[in-house]
Amino acid sequence: MIKVDISNVWGLLALPDLLAAEKEVSAAHNTVMDGSGEGNDFLGWLNLPTRETTQEMRRIMDAAKAIRESSEAFVVVGIGGSYLGPRAAIELMEGPNYNLKRGTKGNPRIFFAGNNLSTRAWNDLVEQLEGKDFSVAFISKSGTTTEPAIATRALRWMLERKYGSEVSKSRIFAITDPEKGALRQMAQEEGWETFTIPQNVGGRFSVLTAVGLLPMAVAGIDIEAVMAGAAEAKQCYDLRSFENPVWLYAAIRNLLNRKGKEIELLTSFEPAFKMMGGWWQQLFGESEGKDGMGIFPVTAEFTADLHSLGQMIQQGKRNLFETMVRFAPDANAVTVGSDYKNLDGLNYLEGKTLDFVDEQAFRGTVAAHVDGGVPVITMDVGQLNDAKLGEIFYFFELACGISAYMLGVNPFNQPGVEFYKRNMFQLLGKPGYEQK
């Protein structure tokens, strides 16, 4: 289990506050599990974790094998819930420089596209794909989102120009709604292999469908282990008491919010965690930010951001709390060496591991931030492996559902996301969206 330490929130909160919230957390947990709350038609994510290798997983693994064997590059097209999960998974497991270790058949580079409207980013991708054998996954639940739709059209043409329309079919995979949407229709008409995002699974809860699993499998992540980890998590985190770390996390963040802490800063001392922070940000932001409510989710990477945001965290407006995610040290320890001149004065660290220094930075940061009036929740994830990845995803998804119900909002809709899309369609002159 992921360990949640709340010893650094006392002061602003007291134990009786937590105990008084027990019934509320329990009710919110029941609402998620028995499907009695608003948005209950989007609870399909609860049924995704499995210890069995389903037929869909087998197809995903076969597709991933074919992609790896035939491609030096693989482009994952999608945005929001159709993008952040797989990128978070790959970066957490392999680090932000994962592509530097890749680029051959058997071990393709993995690029993400369709998540912006930047010409520079597009031109850069085209340059990266120049002369390379590549395959693509087009991911869109609705099948109509503008950013990925533009990238889909362009990449499809690139493939068809390179391989011809027949051969390129074997290099295109579509992940979308089982019935509706332009992407589903295109895939059917063109004969592309498709995977399904179940209708009862929302974008930000879709990482354990083919949305996350196909890119993970192409990256060489063991998706059976990921799903087994999630299944194990589903069982463990069903515990109905404050021994359940999900309960502690959901309860404390809501209690802190009620005491005026409006911002949650999710931090980690692990650069590879950065995109996981992005996934978490969407999960909680879209689930809770509605009806004039919500805890604003932001992320920071330590120690780098201690040298930028650190001042604000320490002495800025006292409206935030922090959740610090920790991992067990890497198996390959690194030691600070000795320098006979010692001009940098670092010999006092001679023989100490980088993990030791990191641990002191962590402890020093917690103490400083708590002193500065920032309550800190600590999450000890333990050893990172493929099963743990599945556990992390399920942990946050369940915590998010419980927390949003505690807040009194529907965790599973996102009416606000549509507003910018509608304005953009009007400005672009999309048929059906003309300005009145």
Q: At closest approach, how far in Å is the CB of 146 from ligand PA5? A: 9
Nearer Cβ to ligand PA5 (102/421): 421
Nearer Cβ to ligand PA5 (64/211): 211
Quote the DSSP letter at residue 107.
B
- Is residue 307 part of the annotated active site? The answer reads yes
- The rounded Cα 52 to chain-centroid distance in angstroms is 23
Q: At closest approach, how far in Å is the CB of 45 from ligand PA5? A: 12
Of 164, 174, 103, 156, which is closest to residue 132 (Cα–Cα)?
Answer: 103
Nearer Cβ to ligand PA5 (71/414): 414
Nearer Cβ to ligand PA5 (204/388): 204
Sheet holding 296-301, edge to edge: 3-8, 376-382, 320-327, 263-268, 296-301
CA 396 → CA 2, 74, 381, 402, 403, distances in Å?
Answer: 11, 28, 12, 10, 10
Q: Which of 94, 270, 286, 288 is catalytic?
A: 286
Three-state secondary-structure class, residue 13: strand
Which residues, including other chains, have CB under 8 Å from residue 392's CB and lie 6 or more apart? 2, 92, 276, 381
Of 40, 144, 140, 5, which is closest to residue 81 (Cα–Cα)?
Answer: 140
Q: Which of 307, 317, 341, 436 is catalytic?
A: 307
CA 336 → CA 159, 271, 302, 359, distances in Å?
Answer: 49, 20, 20, 14
Q: At closest approach, how far in Å is the CB of 400 from ligand PA5? A: 12
Return the exposure string of 9-42: e unless at least 16 CB atoms fall within 10 Å of the residue's CB, then b.
beebbeeebbeebeebbeebbebbeeeebebeeb
Q: At closest approach, how far in Å is the CB of 206 from ligand PA5? A: 8
Of 61, 87, 64, which is closest to residue 76 (Cα–Cα)?
Answer: 87
Q: 324 - beta bridge partners? A: 267, 378
Nearer Cβ to ligand PA5 (27/417): 417
Q: At closest approach, how far in Å is the CB of 138 from ligand PA5? A: 10
Q: At closest approach, how far in Å is the CB of 262 from ligand PA5? A: 22
Three-state secondary-structure class, residue 173: strand
Nearer Cβ to ligand PA5 (43/374): 43
Residues in the chain: 436
Neighbours of 366 (CB within 10 A): 18
C-alpha–C-alpha distance, residues 68 and 62, integer Å: 10
Nearer Cβ to ligand PA5 (168/209): 209
Neighbours of 200 (CB within 10 A): 15
- Is residue 23 part of the annotated active site? The answer reads no
For residue 30, give both structure tokens.
């029941």
Nearer Cβ to ligand PA5 (381/400): 400
Q: At closest approach, how far in Å is the CB of 303 from ligand PA5? A: 31
- Is residue 286 part of the annotated active site? The answer reads yes
Angle at CA of residue 208, ends 65 and 288, nearest 5°: 150
Q: At closest approach, how far in Å is the CB of 211 from ligand PA5? A: 8
Q: Which of 169, 180, 421, 430 is catalytic?
A: 421
Helix axes 84-94, 386-407, angle to 10 degrees: 140
Interface positions with ligand PA5 (CB under 6 A): 79-82, 140-142, 145, 148, 202-204, 286, 414, 417
Give the active site residues. 286, 307, 421
